[in-house]
Structure 1
Amino acid sequence: MKADVRLMVTADGSHTAINQTLDKTYHSVHGAFQESQRVYIELGLLAAFEKFPTEELCVFEMGFGTGLNALLTAREANSFQRKVIYTAIDANPMAVEDAKQLNFDDLLATDYLLKLHECPWNLPVEITPWFTLTKQESKLQDWQTNERFHLIYYDAFAPTAQPELWEPEIFTQLAHLLLPGGMLTTYCSKSYVQRNMRAAGLSVEKHPGPPHKRDILRALKMG
């Protein structure tokens, strides 16, 4: 089922979407681009490029949403000429007609946002020579794979909207998906989320967040 959304412009000029069923935004109203760039690119992708300098990087995103995180990742993969294999799941994807209204390509000087949204589900698609995307329509709790990842973008809706996605069992599942030395980044830094990550065997770091967000998290799978 497609998500029921409406768009709004955030403080940095980039769009976010509001999920009208949950009454929650996909990105920060203080700046969608700034949030994704800080949480997932700076803290996640660029760190993973340094940590795994010779490997084809495997990235998993929980919550494909507007496609902004995937778009930014593809842009960096092209810039660094690093091959990224990107897997994303979303239980209620955004309709392509809604995605066509997003302004990310204009703001970022890219031209493949629609390709991210229009490409078929459940098949790997080469978006650029450096970025291959596989989208899967599924709840995280129901999703199974033999793949392992260097990096996880955990971009589920806030615990107030989807508390079941921030429980210890979820982080145990996510820890199993990570390769040794792999990382998970997320915008949510609540104390019980940190405890649940540690209970799953992850080492948790707090880092400064984007505007109007004091702390964000990066979790590491040791050894």
Structure 2
Amino acid sequence: MNTDNQVRLIITEDGSHSLYNDDLRETYHSTRGAIQESEHVFINAGLQTCQANPIRILEIGFGTGLNVLLTVIWSLKSNHPVIISSFEAFPLTAEVIESLNYGKLLDSEEWFRIIHQQGWNERVDYKNGISIEKILANWQETQVEALYDVVFYDAFAPSKQPEMWGFELIKKACDALNPQGVFVTYSATGQLKRDLVKAGMTVETLPGPPGKKEMVRAIKN
């Protein structure tokens, strides 16, 4: 199904949708299961390991909004406040967003709609201690002043978008973390691990989501 000039809707193995970017020849999420990948990497290995209250989250790659939706769901279930700042340089069209089934599968259609209807470059405080800011900006050109407790690094794969995985951008993300802050990503390349160590992080190689052997979590020293 064609949903945009550059992206096509696909169904992953857990029944949740993802998108295939024709230009990059890459999917937004794992074909083995979009929801289960995001839950495994960003929620289970990242968000729920943080002890801060509220938890301040920096996301590189808003994309489909799935990670933000899962974060909101986790926050509501755990009664733990979250402050989300999510960067995106190339937002998807409303038509593409409306075709995704995350809200339906996760029984959170209202929140999925709220997240995507919120304007860019404004912080909105919702009930239950949930705060969301979607930032329409290029991560390479943005200065980050606030300190965060967890980074979701969710750019396209290093082989497809190498400019997002250079040392300077990885270091910028790490520098935005509080001491003991957590950096999580689905990628587990040797170069990424070396760059994280160079940036002052203690690196852990963890089992990846279904279909992927490994992922990376790093803790700021």
Query: Shorter-normalised TM-score: what interval?
Result: over 0.9
Alignment of 1:60-71 (within 5 A): 60-71=58-69
Match of 1:90 among 76, 88, 91: 88
Alignment of 1:156-171 (within 5 A): 156-171=155-170
Distance in 2 separating the partners of 1:36 and 1:128: 24
Alignment of 1:128-139 (within 5 A): 128-139=127-138
Q: Which residue of 2 aligns with 1:34?
A: 36
Distance in 1 separating the partners of 2:69 and 2:155: 17
Q: Which residue of 2 aligns with 1:105?
A: 103
Does the aligned pair in 2 maintain the 1:3–1:94 contact within 8 Å? Answer: no
Distance in 1 separating the partners of 2:208 and 2:137: 29
Secondary structure at the counterpart of residue 170 of structure 1: helix
Distance in 1 separating the partners of 2:94 and 2:146: 28
* Gap regions ≥5 residues in structure 2: none
1:18 deviates by 1.4
Q: 1:116 to 1:127 in 2, by over 3 A?
A: farther
Distance in 2 separating the partners of 1:86 and 1:56: 10
Q: 1:183 to 1:76 in 2, by over 3 A?
A: same
Secondary structure at the counterpart of residue 30 of structure 1: coil
Q: 1:166 to 1:108 in 2, by over 3 A?
A: same
Alignment of 1:7-156 (within 5 A): 7-48=9-50, 51-52=51-52, 55-110=53-108, 111-156=110-155
Residue identity matched to 1:95: T
RMSD: 1.4
Secondary structure at the counterpart of residue 86 of structure 1: strand
Identity between Structure 1 and Structure 2 (%): 36
Q: 1:154 to 1:3 in 2, by over 3 A?
A: farther
Q: How many residues align?
A: 217
Select between 170-179 and 59-68 the one with higher mean Cα deviation: 170-179
Distance in 2 separating the partners of 1:168 and 1:95: 31
Deviation sequence 1:52-71 (CA, Å, 0-9, x none): 3xx21100110000000000
Q: Compute the TM-score of the two structures, normalised by the length of structure 2.
A: 0.94
Distance in 2 separating the partners of 1:3 and 1:168: 32
Q: Which residue of 2 aligns with 1:216?
A: 215
1:192 deviates by 1.0
* Gap regions ≥5 residues in structure 1: none
Alignment partner of 1:191 is 2:204: no
Residue identity matched to 1:21: D
